[in-house]
Amino acid sequence: METIKGTVEHIVFRNNNNGYTVAHFDIDGNLVTVVGNFDELNHGEYLKLTGYWTEHKNYGDQFSMETYAMEIPTSTEGITRYLASGIIPGIGEKTAKAIVKHFGEETLDILDNHPDRLSEIKGIGKKTLEGIKEVYHEQREIRQIMIQIQDYGISAAWAMKLYKTYQSETISVLLNNPYQMIDDIRGIGFKIADQIANQLGFEPNSPSRILAGINYALGACYNRGNTFMTETELIQTSSRILGVDEDEITSQLGELILFGKIIQEEVSDQRVYYPRNLYEAEDNAALIMARISQGEYKIPDVNIAKKIKAYEKDMDITLDNKQSEAIAAAMENGVIVITGGPGTGKTTIINGIVRIFKDLGFKTVLSAPTGRAAKRITETTGHEAKTIHRLLEYEYSENDDFPSFSKDEANPLEVDAIIVDESSMIDILLMNSLLMAIQPGTRLILVGDADQLPSVGPGNVLKDIIESGAVKVVSLERIYRQSEESMISVNAYEINQGNMPDINNDSDFLFLNKNDGDKLLRDILKIVTENLPLAKGFDSFQDIQVISPMKNGKVGVISLNRELQAVLNPPNPGRAQREFGTVIYREGDKVMQIKNNYRLKWEDTTSYEQGEGIYNGDIGILEEIDEGQKTFSILFNDGKRVDYDFDQMDEITHAYAMTVHKSQGSEFPVVVMPIVGGPPLFLNRKLLYTAVTRAKKMLVLMGNQYVFRQMIKSAESQERQTAYRERIISYINHPML
């Protein structure tokens, strides 16, 4: 590792999301290219950089920065470059040289303690002097605090974040309670605050550390899909994280409750603890669900059976009793759940509801939790569907991390009915936001497959609503959609019932027994790139989607994406590529948007229509990488072309392979999925069923048949800890409702 010192001359490139920066530094009069992750970097700053020299094949020698710290230059040359950088308005290169020539190595002392002496320099008048004194005084405070912070062993990156938040109070906050940063500064979590506190000498059992550690432990709810933790679980987890006795955890819990940081409740005769926002979301969503489920929604003087018959006649179809029941129930209930697997007629029911409501003059909107699911319901019904976020009119926060909606109790949706498809994907926070925007009299029709994986976020919303018994539930079991020769829906049903499916490798449901783990990856590559395209005519890019239960491992998503890219889109002199972290993106890559971006502008390549909004899960081809403009473009499968800046590359990932969770809400002509051993949490019937139901024309499962059987036998993934069901029941029975 080497150390260099110099002044920031020019910032060539910066990714504001991860801090990756390319900058030119003046190092002893030489211009040097420095690359690395800077949390904050400003023209004119004088920094000490630690790292190593590398040689880039296109850009030559570069210094790869590992750590950096703010410093004050000491040599006359360094002081001159520092002042001449433009960091102080009124001092340019000529004036900087004159100042340093006059005061020499005492220049900074003069600026700090005797700034009026600058009037000795020709060209610095009274007005200019006052401007210099004001700016330099502000910078001196920043510089002194920054250097003092770094003396505590805190990096310049975090030092700048701290100063921007606390200004002159920075040192006081650090010395009194560094854990306050967790609440105040985006990007600082418990682990970073704990490292800083440790460097400052805070004791492991200090009350502020224990309080912050309990909050951190309770945050595991978000990752596990729970809305609360039991008291025993919270105390034991906190003790393990903090390395302190459980008694010390218990003694601090009361203070967190007293100040409303966490909520204590009794659920099923045991004491539990909620993060405040999850408690509020679960409780409020239960109250509203109870209200709208108990309202009177019957339509007088309307013969629903006659309306259904008219729909059947116009569409030349015959509905079975369950389908007719579902449509009628949507007319007569405030909330209804329509659940069923693939091919059971959910789309036919949605079309019937929309058609009859339209005849009645009712305004109906269709929605789904994700952009991809909304597009699919738009395509299958012919009616426009929006994401729930767009339906509720998502409003941008400063950093886009915390969604807020303009539609709420004060500004509800002006509609008569809301149909939400793929409702198993809704978490408790989003459900609460949706329910808050529903005005009295509006019907809510939740359509989905209750047997699929629950939402990625906390809660088990659809299951809890069904099990509450508060709403009308219509369960569809009869399979309509696929031909008699198709076994995908039939076998999906068998898997869901816990039965071993009928595997006939002459059908569209294939299981290839592959017990050699090392060979499995090669077999997957071959079937995607050769066997299926040659034997069945499927396109490796457009038709075949590889899905894996896990991210890591030989046949995890990360490995599969790397290997599939190597065979489907290998390096080519005619195709530009760009490194982003450990990933190489190349023109021609199959990629996926991984976050909702409602501001991205697109143009339809067929109609030339323009609009905004690209959604998490949208898949396309990386068309062009333009190093000169620092942009790249993606042509999405629906014909929308989007131009991105390089600093938005963290919004995409390769899509040759994806996790089962990422595949929710989508259907693909062909799905190929490895079946290998792994943690029981990832290998269960729900996950297998969800993956199987993504395939429309062909499913190819490859791997260990014993693991396949075990997944079918494993009826549940880890049971989620929620009380939404109990709260709905309680509010229905509450006399004040």
Residue 271, CA distances (Å) to 3, 24, 267 in order: 55, 58, 6
Task: State the DSSP string of 152-218.
Answer: TT--HHHHHHHHHHHGGGHHHHHHH-GGGHHHHSTT--HHHHHHHHHHTT--TT-HHHHHHHHHHHH
Helix (H) or strand (E) holding 236: helix 231-242
SS3 665: coil
* Token pair 């089962």 in the structure block, residue: 660
Q: Are 257 and 264 in contact (CB under 8 A)?
A: yes
Residues 6+ apart with CB under 8 A from 472: 329, 333, 335, 336, 337
Q: Which residues are annotated as a binding site for ATP?
A: 343-347
The edge-to-edge listing of strands for the beta sheet with 657-659 is 509-513, 695-703, 668-675, 544-548, 657-659
Q: Are 48 and 68 in contact (CB under 8 A)?
A: yes
| CA of residue 489 relative to chain centroid, distance | 31
Gap between the Cα atoms of 721 and 115, Å rounded: 64
Looking at residue 110, its amino acid is I
Gap between the Cα atoms of 316 and 412, Å rounded: 37
Residue 209, CA distances (Å) to 135, 248, 725 in order: 38, 11, 35
Residues 6+ apart with CB under 8 A from 269: none
Gap between the Cα atoms of 308 and 313, Å rounded: 9
Task: State the DSSP string of 293-342.
Answer: HSS----TT--HHHHHHHHHHHHT----HHHHHHHHHHHH-SEEEEEE-T
Q: Which of 52, 70, 69, 48 is nearest to 61 (CA)?
A: 52
Q: What is the 3-state secondary structure (H, E, C) of 582-631?
A: CEEEECCCEEEECCCEEEEEEEECCCCCEEEEECCCCEEEEEEEECCCCE
Cα dihedral 557→562→567→571 (10° resolution): 150
Looking at residue 420, its amino acid is V
* Token pair 């009194």 in the structure block, residue: 176
Task: Enter the DSSP assignment of 120.
Answer: G
SS3 221: helix
Gap between the Cα atoms of 211 and 207, Å rounded: 6
Angle, vertex CA 644, rays to CA 642 and CA 645, nearest 5: 165
Task: Enter the DSSP assignment of 115.
Answer: G
Looking at residue 307, its amino acid is K
Rg (CA), the chain: 31
Gap between the Cα atoms of 407 and 414, Å rounded: 10
Maximum separation of any 2 CA atoms in the chain, in Å: 98
Q: Which residues are annotated as a binding site?
A: 343-347
Residues 6+ apart with CB under 8 A from 437: 392, 405, 407, 408, 409, 411, 412, 413
